Each structure stands twice: as structure tokens, then as C-alpha cells.
């Protein structure tokens, strides 16, 4: 966004003191981009005062405040009211859709999210699924709130050739709360079932990596995954389980070296992990109930109208210890297809990557945001920020 703004406009990112890495402070930033680290405070007035004082010290006049859904939406709304400027909210998750899959039954969370979106002047919805849910949540306020779909861009990852040994990777928190939602157990069990086939369709020494284990329970969660993959393979299988790495370069380096990625969520508002796999040219087995799948396959203007090669329709099970046979069979089918024709799978992955790169860029995403903000940004000649 900062690269597209006029010289008189700054994009200010406000983060909490405790989440700024030392390396972030020292990184070169594009002209027009500022990173402010402000203390996290519970009192709204103090929070507003901190922002206002910082704006004054930098001699900036705010023209827009942008918040991040339920995470910072309320703070953004409070600051915008104090400064008498419009507020935009990025909508990137739908509590109503996914909270039941976590066993949550809290109406207050649903109302909180709805109220935040209704107080915005603009809602930027990530992908086609969230565009629809955003419109549902602002019913009765359509004249006051604009909903604009924003399509995330592909990550800048240089693809590599297929590894000699078949290797799968999957992402998602392994804790019990997310078992049904993220379907990590399905990915691990399906890989075990495929690896245990005595016809050996995956070849020699296949392995799987699971990223998303908690640092506090890493050993316990790893042993559970190890037992699960071996139970379904009926033999020893190579499996690693790691925590998330905050260094995106390290994460992308790991991702691009695998034969296949699995994103099997029973629900995913969009699915940036899947988009990163596509960015890396890695074949992706993708749940059909994801914003990413809809954005690829639905006809324009909702999507690109592309036929997806490895889709799976996930049934899920309310019994966390039981995985539907049909779900496993669908995933195994795609694992076999990729493993037995690696060159074809890689070609399809790279072709999909190239098609998406034609329009799915972060510059285009920023332009979609500016399409909603441009009238406000064009007004005035003093130094502005958003």
C-alpha cells in the first residue's frame, strides 16, 4: 500500500510493544510506511491518547483508521470516532461459521463481530466467502457500510523440483479445540494409510511434516501424531511435528521442498496457507469448503472459473477419535495420483501458480483497498496517514 500512495500520504502500522521483533525494527521499510510500537492498554482513553500523541509528534493528520476484525476493530472504531475520520475493518474470519467446530456456543462473540462490522464505513472482506458473510452481518446498514472484496496475492516463492522421496506437509494447530476444524488428524491418518500400502505407491522412505504443534505440549502432541500415522500405516512411518516459525523465509523454504501440501479444513474462511503452497508450486490437496477453493473455481466475478485438480469434500466427525472412511479414501486417492505421476502433478501446480499470478498480486490487493479509500485520500494537501 505504501508504494502506491502519494508522497504526502503515509501508511502507519500500529502494533503492540510485546510483538515487535528486534529484526523488524531494523528492517528497511518502503517510503511512506511507518511501524509504530505502542503499549497495550486496557483503557480505551489511554489507547486513544497514545495514538493522538504519536500523530502529533510526527505531524500527521489521520484520514482513515483501519482495524483488523475482532482483534483491533474496536480500537480502530474508538480512535476513528475521537479523530472524526472514517473507519475501515478487514473481515478475515467468520465466527458464526467456524466456532461450532471448536465446540464453542458463545453468542456474545457472534454479536461482538457483527457490531464491529456494522460500525465501519467500509468492510474489506478477504475473498468470496467472507464477502458474503460480511454482507449478511451488516444487514440493515447496507446504505452506511460498503463491503469490498479483497483478493490476497501470491507470496514471492521460487518453486523447486520435486524431491526424490515423497514428502507431505500440512499446517494447523494440533490442540483438541481445533481437531475437527483443521483436520490435521485426517491428513496424518490419510498419509499413514497411503504409506502403508504394500504396493508402495508412495515409493521409498515417504514422510510427512506437521507444522502447528504448541511449544508447551510439543512432545506430547508429536507422540500422538506418531501413534496415529503408524496406526493407519501398520508400520513405522517418518513423521516430524514442529511449532510455527515466525520467520516466513524459513517457512517458505520448508514448504517448497515437499511433494504435496494438504489443507483439509472442514471450514476455512480463505486459507492463506493453501495460497502459499500454490505460490511455491507445490501440489495442494484442498478442501472444497474454503474461500481459496471458491476463489479459484467459481465463475467470475466471484472466482476465476478454473477446474481444481485435487479437491476433497470433507465430512468430518463429531467423534474426535473417529475419522470418516470416505474422507480418508478421498485424500489417499489424491496422494496416490500425485505420487505416481510427480511430473504431471508438478506441471499442474506450476500452471495454476502462473494463472493466479496474472491477477492475484499484493499490488492488486492494495489497489482494491485504495478503490474504497481513494476519495478520502485525494482530499487535502497536508501530510496524511491511515
Q: How sure is the predictor about 21, in pLDDT bands with cuts at 50, 70 and 90?
A: low
**In which element (H, E) is residue 57 found?**
helix 44-57
CB-count burial class (<10 Å; 0-12, 13-18, 19+) for 38: middle
- With 0.85 as the threshold, say if the pTM is over it: yes
Q: What is the dihedral of CA 87, 150, 94, 291, to 10 degrees?
A: 180
104 contacts: CB under 8 Å, gap ≥ 6: none
- The CA-atom distances, in angstroms, between 190 and each of 119, 169, 203, 229, 256 are 44, 12, 16, 8, 21
Whole-number pLDDT of residue 317:
81
Mean pLDDT of the chain: 92
How many angstroms from the chain centroid is the CA of residue 336? Answer: 27
Per-residue CA distances from 135 to 124, 141, 149, 379 (Å): 11, 9, 11, 28
User: If you write DSSP's letter for every residue of 207-230 in order, what string do you get?
Assistant: EEEEE---STTHHHHHHHHHHHHH
- Chain mean position to CA 9: 28
CATH number for 167-357: choose from 3.30.70.600, 3.40.50.2000, 3.10.129.10, 3.10.100.10.
3.40.50.2000
pLDDT in tens, 188-246: 999 999 999 999 999 999 999 999 999 999 999 999 999 999 999 999 999 999 999 98
Please tell me whether the peptide bond between 14 and the residue prior to it is cis, using omega within 30 degrees of 0: no
Parallel, antiparallel or unpaired: strands 311-312 and 284-287: parallel
Backbone angles phi, psi at 270, to 5 degrees: -135, -80
CA-based nearest residue to 16, from 72, 55, 93: 72
Residues paired with 61 in a beta bridge: 384
Q: Structural domain boundaries of the chain?
A: 2-153+361-385, 167-357
pLDDT at 27: 60
The predicted pLDDT at position 16 comes to 80
pLDDT given at position 29: 67
Percent of the chain with pLDDT over 70: 93
Instruction: State how far the Cα of 296 lies from the Cα of 128, in Å rounded to an integer.
Output: 10
**CA distance readout (Å), 131 to 41, 79, 305:** 32, 25, 18
For residue 69, the SS3 value is: helix
Banded pLDDT at 26 (limits 50, 70, 90): low
Query: Which numeric CATH code is attached to 2-153+361-385?
Result: 3.40.50.2000
**C-alpha cell recorded at residue 164:** 526424490
Instruction: Return all residues near 143 (Cβ < 8 A) that are at least 6 apart.
Output: none
Ranges 36-50, 152-166, 294-308, 369-383: which has the least confidence: 369-383
Position 380 pLDDT exceeds 50: no
Better pLDDT: 383 or 214: 214
Task: Determine the number of helices (DSSP H) and then strands (DSSP E) in the chain.
Answer: 15, 14
Q: What is the Cα–Cα distance from 38 to 28, expressed in whole angstroms?
A: 20
Query: What local confidence, expressed as pLDDT, does residue 289 receive?
Result: 98
| CATH topology agreement for domains 2-153+361-385 and 167-357 | yes
Q: What is the mean pLDDT of residues 19-38?
A: 70
Cell numbers 508450486 correspond to what residue?
A: 281
Amino acid at each position: 500500500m505504501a508504494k502506491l500512495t502519494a508522497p504526502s500520504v503515509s501508511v502507519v502500522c500500529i502494533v503492540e510493544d510485546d510483538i515487535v521483533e528486534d529484526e523488524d525494527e531494523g528492517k528497511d521499510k518502503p517510503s511512506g510506511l511507518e511501524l509504530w510500537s505502542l503499549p497495550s492498554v486496557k483503557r480505551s482513553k489511554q489507547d486513544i491518547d497514545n495514538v493522538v500523541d504519536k500523530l502529533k509528534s510526527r505531524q500527521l493528520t489521520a484520514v482513515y483508521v483501519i482495524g483488523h476484525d475482532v482483534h483491533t476493530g474496536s480500537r480502530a472504531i474508538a480512535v476513528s470516532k475521537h479523530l472524526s475520520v472514517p473507519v475501515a475493518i478487514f473481515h478475515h474470519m467468520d465466527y458464526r461459521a467456524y466456532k461450532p467446530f471448536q465446540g464453542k456456543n458463545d453468542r456474545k462473540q457472534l454479536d461482538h463481530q457483527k457490531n464491529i462490522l456494522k460500525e465501519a464505513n467500509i468492510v474489506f472482506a478477504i475473498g468470496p466467502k467472507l464477502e458474503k458473510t460480511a454482507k449478511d452481518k451488516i444487514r440493515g446498514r447496507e446504505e452506511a457500510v460498503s463491503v469490498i472484496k479483497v483478493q490476497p496475492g501470491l507470496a514471492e516463492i521460487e518453486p523447486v523440483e520435486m524431491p526424490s522421496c515423497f514428502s507431505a506437509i500440512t499446517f494447523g494447530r494440533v490442540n483438541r479445540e481445533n481437531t475437527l476444524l483443521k483436520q490435521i488428524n485426517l491428513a496424518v491418518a490419510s498419509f499413514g494409510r497411503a504409506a502403508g500400502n504394500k504396493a508402495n505407491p508412495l515409493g521409498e522412505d515417504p514422510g510427512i511434516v506437521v507444522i502447528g504443534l504448541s511449544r508447551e505440549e510439543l512432545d506430547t502432541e508429536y507422540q500422538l501424531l506418531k501413534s496415529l500415522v503408524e496406526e493407519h500405516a501398520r508400520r513405522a512411518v517418518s513423521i516430524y511435528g514442529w511449532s510455527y516459525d515466525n520467520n516466513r523465509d524459513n517457512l517458505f523454504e520448508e514448504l517448497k521442498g515437499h511433494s504435496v501440501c494438504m489443507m483439509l479444513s472442514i471450514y476455512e474462511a480463505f486459507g492463506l496457507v493453501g495460497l502459499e503452497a500454490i505460490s511455491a508450486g507445490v501440489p495442494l490437496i484442498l478442501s472444497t469448503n474454503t474461500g481459496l477453493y471458491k476463489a479459484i473455481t467459481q465463475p467470475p466475478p466471484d472466482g476465476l472459473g478454473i477446474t481444481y485438480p485435487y479437491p476433497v469434500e470433507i465430512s468430518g466427525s463429531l467423534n474426535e477419535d473417529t475419522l470418516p472412511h470416505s474422507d480418508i479414501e478421498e485424500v489417499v486417492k489424491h496422494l496416490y495420483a500425485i505420487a505416481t505421476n510427480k511430473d504431471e502433478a508438478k506441471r499442474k501446480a506450476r500452471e495454476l501458480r502462473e494463472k493466479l499470478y496474472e491477477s492475484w498480486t499484493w499490488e492488486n490487493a492494495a489497489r482494491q483497498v485504495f478503490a474504497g479509500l481513494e476519495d478520502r485520500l485525494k482530499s487535502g494537501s497536508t501530510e496524511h496517514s491511515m
